[in-house]
Structure 1
């Protein structure tokens, strides 16, 4: 016999299902908050769990009848909401299935945009021409769906269309149509750069970016709650550009302010709005990647951890959150914890192997920082076999790691160092008509192996590590920095033992720059400054690695900033920016110089500078 209080519970659960059914349409309103969706999912899951547990305990026909009455409603609503993160977490699904969006991608702009974005992510990860073409066509269809919901152009209009006409926006649905339309333009521009390499395609892509920016810029004034995320993302990214590039972009109508962008993104992440999650992800990307790759490595790791913890707690098997958790541990220098997180990320999902490749890349660097050359080679080899992002870079890294091993240690791998280095130029590829800067760097460094009596590079993994700002990572842990310094001392001894060649000065300057970085992080500032100055003194004798001098000036300037010699730091940074051109990784160096100058001038304006050293 079923207890009477269970009958009361059944009524409550049935009311939950009915209430969820009435709430369900509001989940698809574009301005609805996430809490409404979570309420629906919680109601459905609570009712279903109650029915199921009662049936297991009592197995009465009444319970079974109630289950059958509600199962169709529950399953339908759960399927419709299956793209929601809460449901993904319940079923331990780490990424939304594209088929959920495909069903409504012809009439719902957010479904259309999300489905097209998933296909674009796949295209970006695979670089497969068929995937790029399919993503482009789907994104074009999504743009057409968004166009149907936009306010039609009129005489007294305010919003910018792709053709340059303007329309006044008044209803919330039209505002969301504008932001979706702008996002379609931006993503189509990215696909245009990938798909074609001619100048016409480049101009078309640039026009799409500008039109997208205009929509964001105009409608941000109209409704900040909807447009704050994309507008501020533009503002933040543009502010990171070197001065010369930024002036050109400002001339054609772009502008950027990093502090304003970060401040507004933080405000957006603190609110519980439709795009709060996107604000959080952008901040995580900035603190864990952009500030390291395009800056001086001073991202706010503590803020990144605070942003990530709620998601990790709620979705412990979410791949993207495990990846960011690993990246944060890596930045902090906790390499064992980082390796564990990246491995968990790979185990969490098997649908997108390309997402594993992001983890492989980070794992390769983690083992590089630990000087475990064989494991680093293992992940570089995996990337070279499975991934198409940069075959030349992977081949170079494989050769670089093998060059750190003895001939006997290399034999089990079945590959020859010289042969691998010689393969690098043939693997070069172009994206948007341009060769990748890292590939150019690798090709230039591997060029010396084309002769019969190849002169080996002194410490190629450690040099490439500098290109990716890895010394900022190992600088957090004394033992890692001391280990790297020991390897550089061994490389310097090898250079001194061999007869001089045309590469000797370049190689010695490479070692000097890297030793200076290690000594700076260990606190030996005077010795570090000596090594940076040593590179500058040999400027006229450097034949190939011309990137060393501006980077030595950059590192010397950063060292002066740490010691409070702000005026001297600014002079060194300005010299690095103004006096050198056409060297390897020039754009990345200029990004770092721009970030350092921004910080130095901000410090000087606050009156914190001290007199320059003699």
Structure 2
């Protein structure tokens, strides 16, 4: 145990058993919430929850904090009883926060349309209640999207998001126009407003253009630079209640979103600074050990990443759901090393312990087993066959629609049997689809063995051309795309572009994997861009966006195209007057 842990333990123990006496004031509520966050970050989850629960029906900050813990458990487990419990808790949290909000008369509500309200007339409790109410609404809206698998849930979630946005706008105006002289809790309020405004802008800005246009029509808009800027300001408010949460949102963006959804590299210098700051306070905390593992992972430092992920996984056993995050990362880290056995084992743990998507986990396990099919014994071969038979039955439907990656997995199961119980490099295909080459490509020592593996399969496929069962062109195009990716990251750009163009040339001969052509078109555009041909890159990206419809994982590619076009156009607008951003909006005022 570190010295810092030793210093804090008596304080935790003293507060932990305080009797409930008299009403909870705002200042004490904030301080106990800060303590609960510290307990949570030090893996003391039950103590954090126990600290908040007694006051969750009376204090806005206790209600919010307790709702957050219930929400996290629901999202991490994806089990119906936890989702229902979290929904009930958050409904109560919304009601508790609403009790403390300013109640406007009809005259006051109409007056707000023509003149700015007098925010100095609000009490500190009322302004913090407005913020806590917005945060509870946001959590409740997100939970609504996964609570029931029907369209009504999405409508309810959308309406709650609109209410949440309205509250955040009000909080933003309070922050800007209130006289804060003498306020004891401004930093706590400000960090919450900047976190909410920042996360909201960041979330909306990541959506593809066609979805953005629809959301703008109904009153939503978002800007990535504004979002990041607000979160940075929230992180700078040392000691504020939501400073840690601002840093976690930033780390989530720079270490995950930037790679999964196709944005450019995250700010790894900032990420390392934030992680080291928090590790000094929470050296054994699962979250920042996990973030440290992810930092090493995105740098391509696979072995250190595995060590940090393992440390995070083994640091606590109270919330096993955190283990699943580590298993997912460890599965891919071992895949980078072509350690198919370890990757299969982590996929198996996810399949049996996590309820997120048995179809995806099952197909990943099957894919890793296919990579070592020549070494499988009779029992394992039977297990593999049974797995491919079971996977389609695990497919889910959300709001009446299938999850795209699950649909992809089911199609591949059908393909496995149609091809005589085999698939061509399915794990490497998944690695590509999850944008793993963006990380893998940073280490030539990882790319070269993968290129050798792909080229061996190209040679094997050529020998089996006449016996391919009608899948020869599809399999060849997959191998060309994968080989092109390896070559591109080894700076053999001309050869890479030839492979991408080769896939595009086979467009009319593809029978099943139509997604390979638009994805190869996107990769060709990225290759042009890396060579400084920005005009060719933009034209090719527009082709990838507009010329192909109805293929597998279309939305996933559109996220990447949206990101690339935004970055490309932003690079041209640098230096223009007016502070415009990558999507051409002003950065001065959020929500506009």
Q: Structure 1 length as normaliser, TM-score?
A: 0.82
Within 1, Cα distance between the matches of 2:335 and 2:40?
Answer: 38
Aligned to 2:206: 240
Aligned to 1:481: 447
Within 2, Cα distance between the matches of 1:515 and 1:200?
Answer: 45
Within 2, Cα distance between the matches of 1:365 and 1:473?
Answer: 11
Q: For residue 136 of structure 1, report the CA deviation from its aligned partner.
A: 0.7
Kept in 2, the 8 Å contact 1:363–1:379? The answer is yes
Aligned to 1:198: 150
Tell me, what secondary structure is at the counterpart of 1:384?
Answer: helix
Kept in 2, the 8 Å contact 1:195–1:432? The answer is no
Residues 94 and 149 from structure 1, CA distance in 2 versus in 1: closer, same or farther, beyond 3 angstroms? closer
Does residue 1:83 correspond to 2:83, yes or no? no
Aligned to 2:265: 298
Q: Which among 213, 217, 232 is matched to residue 266 of structure 1?
A: 232
Tell me, what secondary structure is at the counterpart of 2:376?
Answer: helix
Does residue 1:100 correspond to 2:67, yes or no? no
Larger radius of gyration: 1
Tell me, what secondary structure is at the counterpart of 1:142?
Answer: helix
Higher mean displacement: 197-206 or 318-327: 197-206
Unpaired stretches in structure 1, ≥5 consecutive residues: 1-12, 38-78, 161-165, 609-614
Mapping for residues 143-542 of structure 1, pairs under 5 Å: 143-157=94-108, 170-223=122-175, 225=190, 226-272=192-238, 273-411=240-378, 413=380, 415-451=382-418, 454=420, 456-498=422-464, 499=466, 500-542=468-510
Q: For residue 314 of structure 1, report the CA deviation from its aligned partner.
A: 1.7
Residues 411 and 100 from structure 1, CA distance in 2 versus in 1: closer, same or farther, beyond 3 angstroms? farther
Q: For residue 414 of structure 1, report the CA deviation from its aligned partner.
A: 6.6
Tell me, what secondary structure is at the counterpart of 1:481?
Answer: helix
Show CA shifts across 1:530-569 (max 9, x none). 1111111111111111111111111111111111100110
Q: For residue 418 of structure 1, report the CA deviation from its aligned partner.
A: 3.0
Q: For residue 88 of structure 1, report the CA deviation from its aligned partner.
A: 6.5
Unpaired stretches in structure 2, ≥5 consecutive residues: 1-9, 177-189, 577-592
Within 2, Cα distance between the matches of 1:209 and 1:194?
Answer: 14
Within 2, Cα distance between the matches of 1:130 and 1:32?
Answer: 29
Kept in 2, the 8 Å contact 1:292–1:469? The answer is yes
Aligned to 1:131: 82
Kept in 2, the 8 Å contact 1:31–1:172? The answer is no
Show CA shifts across 1:63-82 (max 9, x none). xxxxxxxxxxxxxxxx9985
Within 1, Cα distance between the matches of 2:452 and 2:219?
Answer: 51
Does residue 1:120 correspond to 2:71, yes or no? yes
Q: Report how many aligned residue pairs link the two structures.
A: 536
Aligned to 2:553: 585
Kept in 1, the 8 Å contact 2:347–2:361? The answer is yes
Within 1, Cα distance between the matches of 2:236 and 2:34?
Answer: 24
Tell me, what secondary structure is at the counterpart of 1:103?
Answer: helix
Residues 124 and 80 from structure 1, CA distance in 2 versus in 1: closer, same or farther, beyond 3 angstroms? closer
Q: For residue 104 of structure 1, report the CA deviation from its aligned partner.
A: 0.7
Residues 30 and 582 from structure 1, CA distance in 2 versus in 1: closer, same or farther, beyond 3 angstroms? farther
Kept in 2, the 8 Å contact 1:94–1:319? The answer is no
Kept in 1, the 8 Å contact 2:194–2:233? The answer is no
Q: Displaced runs of 4+ in structure 1, greater than 6 A?
A: 25-28
Q: For residue 419 of structure 1, report the CA deviation from its aligned partner.
A: 2.6
Q: Which has the higher contact order (CA 8 A, sep 6+)?
A: 2
Residues 311 and 412 from structure 1, CA distance in 2 versus in 1: closer, same or farther, beyond 3 angstroms? farther
The CA RMSD over aligned residues, in Å, is 2.8
